[in-house]
Amino acid sequence: MALFFVVTTIVVSTMVTLFILNKSQAVSLVSLNIDQIIIPLETTSSNKASGSKTPAFLNALTLDKLRVDMDISSTPAVFHLSLAEFNLPEPYQHLRNLQFSCQSLEMEPGFIHCQGQKISLFGLLPEQTAESSDFSFRYSFAEQQLVLTINDINTGKGKISIHLKLFNDQWLVDFNADQLAFKDFKPYFEYYYPEFMNSVSDERFGLSASGHLQGVFAKDNIKQEVEQSGGLKQLKIKGKVRNLHYSYSANDTDNLAEKLSFNFRYTSDAMTPRKTQTTLTLNRIKGELLQNDIYLSFTGKEKLYLKLLKDNINNSLKFNRIKLTIDKLLDIEASAELTPGSSSVLQDFHIAYTLNDLQSLNDLYLKNSLEGTEYEGLLLEGKLKGFFGRRGRKIQLNTILNELYLDFNQKIAVTNLNGELNWNNHKNSVNSPVSHINWEEIQLAKLPFGTTRLKFVAFSDQLKLLQETDIPLFDGALHINSLQLNRLGEPVSEQDKSTGMIISIDGLIKPVSLKLISEHFNWPLLDGKLSAVIPETTYTRHRLTVGGAMMMRVFDGNIIFKDLKIDHPLDERGRFFANIDLLNLDLKSLTKTFNFGEIEGRMDGKIRNLELYNWSPVAFNASFGTPKNDESRHRISQKAIDNLSSLGGASGILSRSFLSVFETFRYDKIGLSCRLKNNTCYMDGVEPKGDNAYYIVKGSGLPRIDVMGFQKAVNWEVLINRLKNIQSANEAVIE
């Protein structure tokens, strides 16, 4: 701006001199060449002592190779000015080669009017010339008023048009900027806003905008101070911007602000040293925004108000007020103080929020943004209200939940969630308020947990359940002895395996009807009750780990899970790892459940190195058989014999012999094993029979029957299909 006034003064003074010269002397063509002009600009001692970068524009302004040509004989007159070199400080040190052509010049005693063809300047943009072929200015001596219009100044791929009016201590600017590139103005941001540049890693930023600015320079009562310090004491700007557009890497907007107005004020004196105050109001937000992978389409009901105070001495930003409203949907009001570069950037802040209609907010803003992500399909209903704030070292959060409904692709669903959440950053729970939530139903991994109320405290990075709780599950319950979250909210680092939130829980499953479970999951009808002891279990880094052995009571026996781990338990990518022991299961109850044909007796088994992916087996080493010293009754039905023989590759044994007249047979022992590897099941029985066969059932007494297996390696899908056929058949399948 200082350069503009210096050059304008030279141009106007030269024109006036030549005009007077032409009137007094019959001169028609004038050329003026000046090798160098030095204009001293004093810098006060106080400015030197302060070490400020820009209190004075220059110690001495040097203009090299000034040439002025004026043809007064033509009507209208023609004027051309060129200036080869400037001696300017940062960030203007690269400016040179100013060209100024006025093809229609009118000079009267009261004013000068110029309709120009060309104005250009090299170095305003990095290594390129900024040029406009359409400009005009008018200067009134009586009113001391300057009106300047410059259209379509090229800025790389973009353009700027400016209409400037200066009068008294005020100035007005109307502008239109199209496709301005951040990289072209980077040196000026680096110089004036270094703290901003520290956070900018990508220079692919562009902006389009149009608007009106109005400013006020220093008043008369502080004019003397301005002259003494050589710096600006007061500046006021107000303006409007329409149809804002910017692009930054993968981010973009289109016609974002329909009605954006702002007020800017700069003050620097003994009471308020170097402070800026900005008020921004968006009365209607329209248009579209793409921010990384988030897409938002605004409706025009959104309103934003922001009041910002920047202290350049303390390098702090104070948001006196931020208010965002969406008619009948959302109301957020906040204040904050930031100190960039400090150990705690965000100092005091307070955010109060009211979300009156989560369903509409989800439909209008979240649904499009979540499309194509792992959270696509999220459904929300209900209301939220609360605050989040910090004062000094104390941080606290409060949220009231009102009739909240949530459904996330049937992985988790919450019905009628209510309550109050409280959290603070205290290191212990002594001064932490109690939180409570209650719900009508929660479905987790398709398991329906009934109406429950929980009381807990949340503080620092921890959450603790305050009392033992029963959560209804079918006709039983999940009883929680203790529940605790540690490292709450801590992000997961792939480099540091000790990071990430930890959930710890222990409890038990009170007896649940297997019939109800099987009906809910559309499984084969199971008989009996399921109960289990759940030792201390943790969840961190998307892995659920059972600390000890988990025991389930089922089929009048016990199933013990050891070394149990589940990766991504709520995800299709889920992987399950375990070692399992089956102890003294009742075969009659088991075979009746799975429509296999009746077998009486007991069974032990073990499954080692079990691995499931998406709940389908990919590897294990399993064996099942009659326990040693089993004294229970050993009987097997005709149907069970045929089904077992078909698994071993030799079906239809009984249908081809006289033994088909017998309904049941006694057996000594029964057993089968499978080692699954690379989609192949390597099978064996209770003992070998020759080189290629093995006993699945070893008979006893008369009539005696042995069931043999003859296939040692079976494709896993083939074996599964055999089991499915057995399960779905109402009677034995005879091939």
Which of the 8 DSSP states describes residue 502? E
| Greatest mean pLDDT among 44-58, 72-86, 199-213, 600-614 | 600-614
Residue 418 has a pLDDT of 97
| Structural tokens at position 672 | 């089968």
Computed on alpha carbons and rounded to an integer, the radius of gyration of the chain in Å comes to 42
| Cα–Cα distance for residue pair 139/216, rounded to 1 Å | 19
Q: Where are the beta strands (DSSP E) in 363-475?
A: 378-391, 394-408, 412-424, 434-439, 441-444, 447-449, 452-459, 462-465, 469-473
pLDDT band at 212 (very low <50, low <70, confident <90, very high): confident
- The neighbouring-strand residues paired with 321 are 307
| Structural tokens at position 380 | 């929300």
Residue 388 has a pLDDT of 94
User: 3-class DSSP state for residue 564?
Assistant: strand
Q: Is a pLDDT exceeding 70 seen at residue 303?
A: yes
Q: Is a pLDDT exceeding 90 seen at residue 355?
A: yes
Phi/psi of residue 453, each to 5°? -125, 130
Look at residues 212, 200, 205, 210 and name the one whose alpha carbon lies nearest to residue 171: 212
Number of other CB atoms surrounding residue 73 within 10 Å: 12
pLDDT band at 404 (very low <50, low <70, confident <90, very high): very high
Q: Distances in Å between the alpha carbon of 465 and those of 395, 454, 485, 598? A: 21, 7, 9, 47
Let me know if 71 is exposed, middle or buried by CB neighbors in 10 A (0-12, 13-18, 19+). Answer: middle
| Cα–Cα distance for residue pair 719/649, rounded to 1 Å | 10
Please check whether residue 124 lies inside any domain of the structure: yes
Please check whether residue 154 lies inside any domain of the structure: yes
Q: Please answer whether residues 519 and 504 qualify as being in contact, where contact means their C-beta atoms are separated by less than 8 angstroms.
A: no
| Structural tokens at position 439 | 């719900």
Q: Which carries the bigger pLDDT value, residue 417 or residue 129?
A: 417
Q: Residues with Cβ < 8 Å from 678, sequence gap 6 or more?
A: none
Residue 48 has a pLDDT of 43
pLDDT band at 225 (very low <50, low <70, confident <90, very high): very low
| Structural tokens at position 131 | 């040029």
Q: Is a pLDDT exceeding 50 seen at residue 54?
A: no
Residue 583 has a pLDDT of 94
pTM check: above 0.85: no
Q: Please answer whether residues 43 and 55 qualify as being in contact, where contact means their C-beta atoms are separated by less than 8 angstroms.
A: yes
Number of other CB atoms surrounding residue 735 within 10 Å: 8
Q: Which carries the bigger pLDDT value, residue 88 or residue 65?
A: 65
CA 105 to chain centre: 58
Look at residues 160, 86, 68, 151 and name the one whose alpha carbon lies nearest to residue 123: 86
Please check whether residue 378 lies inside any domain of the structure: no
| Cα–Cα distance for residue pair 534/28, rounded to 1 Å | 105
Q: State the DSSP string of 33-72.
A: EEEEEEEE----HHHHHHT-SSSSS-SEEEEEEEEEEEE-
Residue 41 has a pLDDT of 52
Tens of pLDDT, residue by residue over 594-640, are 777 889 999 999 999 999 988 789 999 999 999 988 989 999 988 88
| Structural tokens at position 232 | 């600006």
Number of other CB atoms surrounding residue 561 within 10 Å: 20
Tens of pLDDT, residue by residue over 694-721, are 989 998 877 788 888 888 899 998 888 8
Percent of the chain's residues with pLDDT above 70: 75
Please check whether residue 590 lies inside any domain of the structure: no
CA angle (389, 395, 397) in 5-degree steps = 60
- Mean pLDDT, residues 489-493: 72
Please report how the helices 716-728 and 638-647 are oriented relative to each other, as an axis angle in degrees rounded to 10.
160
Tens of pLDDT, residue by residue over 173-193, are 888 877 777 777 777 777 766
Count of the separate structural domains present in the chain: 1
Please check whether residue 185 lies inside any domain of the structure: no
Q: Is a pLDDT exceeding 60 seen at residue 18?
A: no
CA 328 to chain centre: 25
Helix (H) or strand (E) holding 94: none
Look at residues 382, 629, 388, 571 and name the one whose alpha carbon lies nearest to residue 489: 388
pLDDT band at 271 (very low <50, low <70, confident <90, very high): low
Q: Residues with Cβ < 8 Å from 228, sequence gap 6 or more?
A: 44
Q: Please answer whether residues 634 and 627 qualify as being in contact, where contact means their C-beta atoms are separated by less than 8 angstroms.
A: no
Please check whether residue 284 lies inside any domain of the structure: no
Look at strands 452-459 and 412-424 and give their pairing.
parallel
Tens of pLDDT, residue by residue over 456-478, are 999 988 999 999 999 999 999 99
Look at residues 249, 326, 233 and name the one whose alpha carbon lies nearest to residue 292: 249
Q: How many CA atoms lie within 13 A of 177 on its CB side?
A: 18
Task: Mark residue 730 as left, alpha or beta (left: phi above 0; alpha: psi -120 to 50; beta: remaining).
Answer: alpha
Q: Residues with Cβ < 8 Å from 293, sequence gap 6 or more?
A: 250, 369, 372, 373
pLDDT band at 27 (very low <50, low <70, confident <90, very high): low
| Cα–Cα distance for residue pair 351/386, rounded to 1 Å | 8
Q: Is a pLDDT exceeding 70 seen at residue 241?
A: no
Which of the 8 DSSP states describes residue 626? P
Look at residues 550, 481, 544, 552 and name the one whose alpha carbon lies nearest to residue 514: 552
Look at residues 243, 306, 229 and name the one whose alpha carbon lies nearest to residue 274: 229
Please check whether residue 692 lies inside any domain of the structure: no
Number of other CB atoms surrounding residue 607 within 10 Å: 19
Q: Is a pLDDT exceeding 60 seen at residue 238?
A: yes
Please check whether residue 28 lies inside any domain of the structure: yes
Residue 684 has a pLDDT of 92
Tens of pLDDT, residue by residue over 523-574, are 767 777 888 888 888 888 778 888 888 888 888 889 999 999 998 886 777 8
Range of the domain at 69: 1-168
| Cα–Cα distance for residue pair 686/667, rounded to 1 Å | 12
When mean pLDDT is compared across 36-45, 105-114, 613-622, 688-697, the lowest value belongs to 36-45
Which of the 8 DSSP states describes residue 701? S
Mean pLDDT taken over the chain: 78
| Cα–Cα distance for residue pair 100/81, rounded to 1 Å | 5
